Homo-oligomer: A and B are copies of this chain.
């Protein structure tokens, strides 16, 4: 590409609403322009990157045996009514009517459409497994579009859907997709983690998110510092290396803790480390006879409750809801700030201690009496009637649940999600095939998404400096820029630039020849902002010595390269 025929549209300043680096840099580098809230035009530089990402995704999906299709973006309401999502899906689903007043939506996802296709086209177990993908513009009417293309309303997504006669086949394809996703993100050159996203829900749904690690990420990812383990913080199991509390060394004592409303205030007042205290939360639950009751959840003072985990304890606390203060005072005789586990069972309140709380000894807890706490409390000796469960969010330093290493928590940007859907959609839409015995079987399904446009932004979040973007080699808009000094005036420069341009292109490289009548500083700044990895400067002075000036975008110094070696030199770098 000759710069004189190209649209740069680089900007010195980012728009004021751009708060993350990728949004700022994509606008400044002339990659995108906002048309309307959450709607972006991809300019040539941006689209070149997007296409490279798209091609890598396509190649890996094809290699994994998925067949490309393309489904309509506008979907009839009837299918969504069949699965019940027309009612359930919130305002993110953009509903519209055609000229005849018929209801449609702009597809945010395509489970309904693909399952409708599958029920019509797949009739026999012999055709399975079958895996379809498409790379398509999706629309989600985000309530608060933000971060540029990271959370836009219209975006490019790869979505895939697989169909199976049974769970085993689904697991096989799921594993193949897991590997294909790793291949995609490896080839793009991202620092990412496949993250366990859900394991526990009934029906065996199973899912992984793929997160690019970056400070601007919206999700907290817990992962092991030594193994492959990674999970959403909310879903990571909090394990405890100790299985039993130490023997008591202190006597139980009731102490006055006036005006201490929080566990931090209690710890400070008593000059205790907060890890030597527990907090007790009372929530609404059901007893063995399914009657409304109160359940006490006990956590170490510095830990945070995980509502998702609580809701999974045999369903006794679901949905998660705090007990009413009046009920508490009525049943226990004190306000919530002074609750503790001792003697609650006698008051008809079940006690569930988090694993990390259950192995504490000589600890401090509320005395179930306003303005009083116990110190030297010990489970077995003082309140033996309790159960243990995983109730809290993991924190950095926790042991990794796979037994290898320690938990580290980082922020992640979700760029992929693979999911074992099971039979939910196939059942709703009656998508069956005949099995070996000629019996109709509801198909099992998996679905697999990649946020193609989001990857572009995520790659920038991981790779930039104060001058601009630092593209990973496989998704750079241009592999190399030839900066011409006085292209219009010097024939020697012109000839050498044209030769280099032609020869580098012939080697399959994406080459930008900056033949503009601009100052060198402007040209250098533009290609640094855009993030082109390799730069060759062609000027009369160098040519007189038989050299060109090379600079790598990430490494420091300029380097002279002999004219005759330049093409091979660049090809070797790529």
Give the oligomeric copy count.
Answer: 2
* A304 sits at the interface (CB 8 A): no
Q: A41-B69, A72-B40, A106-B74 are in contact. Are A121 and B154 (CB under 8 A)?
A: no
Complex partner residue of A99 from B6, B33, B67, B141, CB under 8 angstroms = B141
Asked whether, in the complex, the Cβ of A44 is within 8 Å of the Cβ of B69, the reply is yes
Q: Are A139 and B7 in contact (CB under 8 A)?
A: no
Interface set, chain A 79-117, CB cutoff 8 A to B = 91-92, 94, 96-99, 104, 106, 113, 116-117
Residues of chain B lying within 8 A (CB to CB) of residue A69: 41-44, 47
Q: Confirm or deny: A166 has a beta carbon within 8 angstroms of a beta carbon on chain B.
A: no
Binary interface profile of A, 430-471, with partner B (CB < 8 Å = 1, else 0)? 000000000000000000000000000000000000000000
Q: How far is the CA of A35 from the CA of B120 in the complex (A)?
A: 11
- Is A39 in the interface zone, CB < 8 Å from B? yes
> What chain B residues lie within 8 Å of A42 (beta carbons)?
69-71
How far is it, in angstroms, between the C-alpha of A271 and the C-alpha of B96 when the chains are bound? 63
Q: Is A359 an interface residue, CB under 8 A from the partner?
A: no
Q: Are A71 and B35 in contact (CB under 8 A)?
A: yes
Residue of B nearest to A120 (CB): B33
Q: A116-B35, A130-B7 are in contact. Are A70 and B47 (CB under 8 A)?
A: yes
Are the C-beta atoms of A94 and B91 separated by less than 8 Å? no
Residues of the B chain whose Cβ atoms lie less than 8 Å from the Cβ of A552: none
* Across-interface contacts of A35 in B (CB, < 8 A): 71-72, 75-76, 113, 116
A528 to B35, CA, bound (A): 47
Q: Would you call A137 an interface residue if the criterion is a C-beta within 8 Å of the partner chain's C-beta atoms?
A: yes
Q: Is the CB of B141 within 8 A of A33?
A: no
Cβ of A376 within 8 Å of any chain B Cβ, yes or no, is: no
Chain A residues in the interface with B (C-beta under 8 A) = 5-7, 9, 33, 35-36, 39-44, 47, 50, 65, 67-76, 91-92, 94, 96-99, 104, 106, 113, 116-117, 120-121, 127, 130, 132, 136-137, 139, 141, 143, 153-154
In the assembly, what is the distance between CA of A141 and CA of B97, in Å?
Answer: 10
A113 to B65, CA, bound (A): 38
Given A98-B141, A141-B99, A36:B76 Cβ within 8 A: yes
For A113, the chain B residues whose CB sits under 8 A away are: 35, 41
Which among B7, B121, B153 is the interface contact of A121 at CB below 8 angstroms? B7
Known: A33-B117, A33-B121. A73 touches B130 (CB 8 A): no
Contact yes or no, A96 B96, CB < 8 A:
yes
Complex contacts, A117 vs chain B, CB 8 Å: 33, 41
In chain B, what residue has the closest Cβ to A70? B42
Bound CA span A72–B130, Å: 32
Whether B41 contacts A70 by the Cβ 8 Å rule is yes
Nearest chain B CB to A104 CB, angstrom units: 8
Minimum Cβ distance to chain B for residue A528 (Å) = 21
Residue of B7, B73, B143 near A67 (CB, 8 A) is B7
**Which residue of chain B has its CB nearest to the CB of A68?**
B47
Query: Smallest CB-CB separation from A516: which chain B residue?
Result: B126
Contact B44 A68 (CB under 8 A): yes
Distance from A169 Cβ to chain B, minimum over Cβ atoms (Å): 13
A41 to B69, CA, bound (A): 7
With most chain B CB atoms within 10 A of its CB, the pick from A67, A116, A153 is: A67
A72/B6 in contact, CB under 8 A: no
Please judge, given known A-B contacts A113-B35, A121-B33, whether A139 and B70 are in contact too, CB under 8 Å: no
* Complex contacts, A91 vs chain B, CB 8 Å: 99
Assess whether B36 is in contact with A72, with CB atoms less than 8 Å apart: yes
CA distance A99 to B104 in the complex (A): 15
Contacts of A33 in B (CB 8 A): 117, 120-121
Contacts of A76 in B (CB 8 A): 35-36, 39
A121 CB contacts on chain B under 8 angstroms: 7, 9, 33, 43
A116 / chain B contacts, CB cutoff of 8 Å: 35
Most chain B beta carbons < 10 A, residue from A41, A68, A113, A141? A41
- Report B-chain residues with C-beta under 8 Å of the C-beta of A39: 72, 74-76
Question: A120 to chain B: which residues have CB within 8 Å?
Answer: 33
A74: B residues at CB distance < 8 A: 36, 39, 106, 139, 153-154
